[in-house]
Amino acid sequence: MPLGAGTYHTCGLDESGRAWCWGSGGEGQLGQGELLSSVEPVVVLGGLRFVQLIAGAASTCGLSTVQELYCWGRNSFGQAGNGTTTLSTVPVRATGLPRLQRLFGAAEHVCALDADGALLCWGRNDLGQLGDGTTMPRPVPVVVGTSDTYADAAAGASQTCGLRTSGAFECWGAQVPIPPYP
């Protein structure tokens, strides 16, 4: 069962791709349609199938089998990527995104690689963790960097790092930037 661990909740996928979550649920991050916690795994509502889950401080996002983004839970910085800051107790699809390959999550911001290798980030940005040159929260994904593509990334609570396909490694956000390394 692939897992995603948040601050006070955890989610995982069963063999069929259904999402299950447990732990703190006071902000809807368990996806069960209520603001309740659970010591046992509860199925995420909606009947969706996922290939990857990430869990943040009080939110969860999943990459569906058709490469679409769904998020639920706290959304105070727009970390659901759907253009709002509205909390949701069930998965809500982020619209207008290209097909995604992989998600990278942190406390209150999310990043994803699209099918072309572009790195997109959204959510909390008070320390520049989205890599768009600002410190404004973004409720919709913004493209990081220039025309270079990324091979991998990682997101921490207040910083993000990316590995470009050229082999250059760079970070942005709290206590960075670190210059690109070949």
pLDDT in tens, 136-169: 999 999 999 766 799 999 999 899 999 999 998 8
pLDDT at residue 179 in the model: 52
pLDDT given at position 145 = 77
- Label residues 143-160 b or e (16+ Cβ within 10 Å = b): ebeeebbbeebebbbbbb
Which residue range is the domain that position 89 belongs to? 3-181
Cα-only R_g, the chain: 15
pLDDT score, position 182: 44
Q: CA–CA separation, 166 vs 88, rounded Å?
A: 39
What pTM did the predictor assign? Answer: 0.92
Q: What is the CATH number of the domain that holds 116?
A: 2.130.10.30
Burial 90-121 (b: 16+ CB within 10 A, else e): bbbebeebeebebbbbbbbbbbbbbeeebbbb
CB 50 within 8 A of CB 19: yes
Q: How confident is the model at residue 110 (pLDDT cuts 50, 70, 90)?
A: very high
Phi and psi of 12, rounded to 5°?
-150, 165
Both tokens of 118, joined, read 């572009």
Q: How many independent structural domains does the chain possess?
A: 1
